[in-house]
Structure 1
């Protein structure tokens, strides 16, 4: 069976989401130019959200489980926006039949994609699978007015991509999402704010997503002061180390264990964490544990003592001081505030 195709041909999110609502037979809501389409029918379930910001940047989020394979076909003319694409859950395929480009983006992976002008490309979404995807789009000729003075501070391939406002040359870069990106994506999906605070919150995290990918590209393509050269495979291994830590947050491994497990030099692993995450492996582990603790406190199902035990802290006073250093407040005080 052929995918069900929905054509995206408008920069205006009001037009775009009215089209989504019509094609998916969903209910359309608008709150200060943030658009939401809710789906609960034969097409599947979930929601699509979108909002335009200033300077040509916009945000689109999918949290869906479709009953049919869906082809979101982008036909934007000569001025295709740059798409910064992140998958939090599930997978999607990005396909450009004209150029032969095809890239699968799976859980915790990201893609920068700027297609050539006058082409179309598709984001193919699977059926009967949960997909959480964030797409930050940048209209180049508008965004340039904001960043042009600083373009010489980023790697030349990225600078050329931003300057290429009519899509003379296609560009793509696929990589793993770093913790900063994952945190931003989680905050976007969990945002319960409203009004101006919500819009500013969403814009700041959309900007953070672009920043994180630029930083990862810089590290991968430029020499660093350590003398180490970080290849795409090195970046992948460092992100695998990060993922292993997060999946084993209760009993986190030592640096030596991580190095042996992944087949990467211990010093290179440490330097990679410093470059990608601005933390040593040990500092990253502590921060990750504390953010899990914050989430568990907000959920309210465990006491502070139980949370400390769960995360491997036998000294509750030490745990409390680490929490205060990270968040500026003791866990007991945070617990009281989160209950209000």
Structure 2
């Protein structure tokens, strides 16, 4: 285990301290500071940038060749930290406390220490790790947002109002799909200088906005939560496979949501986010697509096809099919067979 003790704020000084501990130079690009991890420690980099209004961002993209603990200890109130794990895993604990807060892929935690207690981040040996740490100086943030904070919900005020560190704060959850998209944009977009600084600042405030929306959503009962988490996408993909496998005998949407472990509201909202249509619209699309395939690839009667895809009403089936394909099922089959016969005749003629 290797220990790194950082005794500085703001974030530019954190990077300068880390560079000195690694015994390497740091780089500065206007207000963004970064340090490359030397090969004796591992690979990757750590970079930090401060914005106006008390907001800052640290990005860890590293793979250490031994277990590493970074101790952030400074004789001052520490920033409020929003930590997101995009890859790998770490653990966090408060200085002078042993209770660890694990953080792994798709998870996020919000932590604030009591008094001048610091923070400890533990990185695991040979673990490719990508962590975003959004850091807020609550005193500066409060001075900028005093009116708005005074009108905010009590659960949101609780996060920011304790700028003297009277008590510690800890929250954990799965970060939302919207946050995942912000991280992807930040990783895959590269602007220089002016545009780059504005982009990073705007993305950091977007990150904070989505986090507060998620935090507020998490204060609701499970059944009333509607924001889709990145980790819950797999549950919706599992539901799609159920749709395809059981198309002729599907249960209710709520029963399928329950089978994959999601509330009805979260399932419906998440499905619309992923597919751009409701679950019922998607099921209808699957049924009509299957009906089209059966019309052209089997000799099944339209009555048999209708039952195979789970429709009872012939007129309703024909109405939906015509809306999607422009003609009713019998005409679609007839047109297909005529075109097939014509193509065969043209091939024989040649």
Please, what TM-score do these two structures have when normalized by structure 2?
Answer: 0.69
Find the counterpart in structure 2 of residue 122 from structure 1. Answer: 120
Structure 2 residue corresponding to 1:141, chosen from 139, 142, 149: 139
Please, what TM-score do these two structures have when normalized by structure 1?
Answer: 0.71
Find the counterpart in structure 2 of residue 219 from structure 1. Answer: 217
- Is 2:228 aligned against 1:230? no
Distance 1:235 1:129 in 2: 33
| TM superposition shift of 1:5 | 1.5
| TM superposition shift of 1:112 | 0.8
Structure 1 residue corresponding to 2:36, chosen from 35, 38, 56: 38
Distance 1:40 1:285, change over 3 A: farther
Deviations 1:184-231 (A, max 9, x none): 112222231111111111111111221122111211224xxxxxx337
Higher Cα Rg, which structure: 2
Contact 1:256 1:266 in 2 (8 A): yes
Contact 1:175 1:236 in 2 (8 A): no
* Residue pairs, 1:153-192, within 5 angstroms: 153-192=151-190
Distance 2:35 2:256 in 1: 43
Structure 2 residue corresponding to 1:104, chosen from 102, 106, 114: 102
Find the counterpart in structure 2 of residue 281 from structure 1. Answer: 271
Contact 1:69 1:124 in 2 (8 A): yes
| TM superposition shift of 1:242 | 2.1
Structure 1 spans left out of the alignment, 5+ residues: 223-228, 274-279, 288-317, 319-340
Distance 1:21 1:253, change over 3 A: farther
Compute the RMSD of aligned alpha carbons. 2.8
Distance 1:146 1:153 in 2: 14
Distance 1:12 1:216, change over 3 A: closer
Distance 1:236 1:199, change over 3 A: closer
- Is 2:239 aligned against 1:241? no
Distance 1:104 1:86 in 2: 11
Question: Helix, strand or coil: the match of 1:181?
Answer: helix
Contact 2:108 2:172 in 1 (8 A): yes
Find the counterpart in structure 1 of residue 61 from structure 2. Answer: 63
| TM superposition shift of 1:94 | 0.5
| TM superposition shift of 1:266 | 3.1
Distance 2:78 2:95 in 1: 16
Distance 1:169 1:266, change over 3 A: same
Distance 1:184 1:268 in 2: 20
Distance 1:86 1:237 in 2: 16
Distance 1:182 1:218, change over 3 A: same
| TM superposition shift of 1:244 | 3.9
Distance 1:16 1:286, change over 3 A: same
| TM superposition shift of 1:10 | 1.5
Deviations 1:143-197 (A, max 9, x none): 1112121114433133133111110011111110101111111222223111111
- Residue correspondences, number: 269
Contact 1:8 1:73 in 2 (8 A): yes
| TM superposition shift of 1:110 | 0.6
| TM superposition shift of 1:237 | 8.5
